[in-house]
């Protein structure tokens, strides 16, 4: 029989169709939410008093690089292509299985402690198995896939053939897609058009369709990159996905900073998902993505912190706040109001990952992925509109407890599935061993 947890007296931000917010109770049964209402009386196995907490759906970040977390604060104040060539590719090439493991664990620790319960991860060329193992053990919900890059000049550790890239991807898909009642899913992850042969992208698009999994990649992040892609393929970076047969609802494009009318029509018509990473777009000098226009067209836009070395956190509160703030000088202060941005960090993320029926809101029959936020922090009181409070004034450290699939992964800011105490030394040791 399923264990039941009755959560009482919380300020519940449901993100349901009516965007209801009320003080009430949540009944969790096994991995699922079985009831949400103003008052629930039930003989549960555990009763949890959530007086003084806001409960939101666990946050969803759709574009993360767990393998880069180890390189946080080591590659700053550089633009995208120099950042990749001078720092990130050599660093990733130096990675060992163990260093990737520590990198992923550090990232998951930060994500949990800031209330994110689901991610889509861009993976790593080698040792992707270690990333899946860390996600599995920590209890995170994730869509992930090995990074594919078979075109161009890279340090030896990142070189791979088209066939090997696809074979490894398929083996990982076979092993991990659907793990733990669908908690982990596979996505094909060609890095970006400049690092992939057209053959690889075409084959991957076909495989993603056949297996009905996501195709996760970067597009139109940086002006120079977009120009190089146009020179090589003769079309825009976004239209390229139509050419290779990938333009459909399973295509997830990180960034889309530089797009024209024609690109935007394709995004809308084919239900391509835009993964918006505001901190990374600013820090790498890429630009400000035309998100208000995408939203007006009803394109699905979700949020991600991208890599720690271009952010330098993995903090959904920072991304929500920034997503709202950066548009206002361009489009007016009423643009991107808090409630809309809050949806980007929750239900839009769920929709992006094809999990709208499973996560992204607090409703019966959805999975019990819940984030508990202290309501009375001095930096976030008073409040009237709860979305203003959550988007503009709440800090990552206000997250006190986190539950995924009905299991506590954070309780009183203590990680339940990761040994936080050992992490700083483990991180230091891996950095030294990589000698970067």
Interacting residues toward a second copy by CB under 8 A: 70, 72-74, 76-80, 82-83, 106, 109-110, 113-114, 279, 281-288, 308, 311-315, 322, 324-326, 328-329, 331-335, 337-338, 376, 378-385, 388-389, 392-393, 395-397, 420, 423-424, 427-428, 431
Nearer of residues 132 and 258 to a second copy, judged by Cβ: 258
What's the number of CA atoms in the CB half-sphere (13 Å) around residue 5? 18
**279 conformational bin, left if phi > 0, alpha if psi -120 to 50, beta if neither:** alpha
> Rounded to whole angstroms, how far apart are CA atoms 265 and 267?
5
* Nearest approach, Cβ of residue 213 and a second copy (Å): 30
Q: How far is the CB of 149 from a second copy (least distance, A)?
A: 22
Q: Give the nearest distance from C-beta 237 to a second copy in angstroms.
A: 18
Is the CB of residue 143 less than 8 Å from the CB of residue 154? no
Q: How far is the CB of 402 from a second copy (least distance, A)?
A: 14
Provide, rounded to whole angstroms, the least separation between the CB of residue 283 and a second copy.
6
- 116 CB contacts (<8 Å, ≥6 apart)? 58, 59, 60, 61, 314, 316
* 12 or 322: CB nearest a second copy: 322
- Measured from the CB atom, the residue of 168 and 335 that comes closer to a second copy is 335
Smallest gap, in angstroms, from Cβ of residue 378 to a second copy? 5
Identity of the residue, 233 or 392, whose beta carbon is nearer to a second copy in the bound complex? 392
Minimum CB distance to a second copy smaller for 66 or for 326: 326
Closest distance of CB 77 from a second copy, Å: 4
Residue 306: CB minimum distance to a second copy, A:
13
Q: Shortest Cβ distance from residue 115 to a second copy (Å)?
A: 12
> Which residue, 59 or 83, is less far from a second copy as judged by CB?
83
Residue with tokens 């992208």: 201
Burial of 364 (0-12, 13-18, 19+ CB in 10 A): middle
The token duo for 249 is 């609802």
Judged by beta carbon, residue 199 or residue 420, the one nearer a second copy is 420
Of 90 and 245, the one with the shorter C-beta distance to a second copy is 90
In the complex with a second copy, which residue's Cβ is closer, 20 or 82? 82
Does 312 sit behind a cis peptide bond, omega within 30 degrees of 0 on the bond before it?
yes
């Amino acid at each position: 029989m399923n264990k039941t947890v009755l959560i009482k007296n919380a300020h519940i931000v449901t993100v349901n169709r009516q965007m209801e917010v009320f003080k009430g109770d949540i009944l969790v049964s096994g991995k699922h939410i079985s009831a949400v209402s103003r008052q629930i009386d039930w003989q549960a196995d555990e009763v949890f008093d959530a007086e003084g907490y806001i409960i939101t759906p666990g946050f969803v970040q759709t574009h993360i690089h767990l393998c880069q977390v180890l390189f946080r604060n080591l590659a700053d104040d550089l633009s995208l292509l120099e950042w990749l060539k001078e720092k990130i590719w050599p660093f990733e090439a130096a990675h060992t299985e163990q260093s990737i493991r520590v990198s992923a664990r550090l990232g998951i620790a930060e994500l949990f402690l800031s209330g994110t319960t689901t991610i889509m991860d861009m993976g790593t060329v080698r040792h992707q198995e270690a990333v899946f193992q860390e996600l599995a053990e920590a209890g995170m919900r994730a869509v992930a896939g090995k990074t594919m890059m078979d075109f161009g000049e890279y340090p030896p550790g990142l070189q791979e053939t088209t066939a090997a890239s696809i074979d490894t991807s398929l083996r990982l898909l076979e092993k991990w897609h659907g793990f733990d009642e669908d908690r982990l899913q596979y996505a094909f992850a060609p890095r970006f058009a400049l690092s992939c042969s057209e053959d690889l992208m075409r084959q991957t698009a076909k495989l993603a369709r056949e297996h009905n999994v996501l195709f996760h990649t970067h597009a139109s992040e940086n002006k120079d990159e977009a120009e190089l892609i146009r020179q090589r393929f003769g079309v825009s970076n976004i239209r390229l996905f139509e050419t290779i047969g990938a333009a459909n609802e399973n295509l997830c494009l990180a960034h889309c900073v530089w797009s024209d009318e024609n690109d935007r029509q394709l995004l809308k018509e084919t239900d391509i998902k835009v993964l918006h990473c505001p901190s990374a777009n600013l820090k790498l000098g890429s630009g400000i993505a035309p998100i208000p226009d995408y939203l007006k067209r009803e394109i699905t836009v979700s949020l991600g912190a991208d890599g720690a070395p271009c952010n330098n956190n993995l903090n959904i509160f920072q991304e929500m706040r920034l997503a709202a703030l950066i548009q206002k000088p361009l489009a007016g202060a009423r643009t991107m109001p808090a409630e809309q941005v809050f949806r980007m960090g929750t239900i839009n993320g769920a929709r992006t990952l094809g999990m709208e029926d499973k996560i992204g809101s607090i409703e019966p029959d959805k999975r019990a992925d819940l984030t508990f936020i202290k309501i009375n922090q001095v930096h976030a009181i008073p409040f009237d509109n709860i979305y203003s409070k959550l988007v503009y004034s709440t800090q990552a450290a206000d997250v006190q407890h986190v539950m995924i699939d009905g299991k506590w992964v954070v309780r009183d800011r203590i990680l339940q599935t990761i040994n936080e105490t050992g992490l700083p030394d483990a991180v230091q040791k891996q950095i030294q061993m990589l000698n970067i």
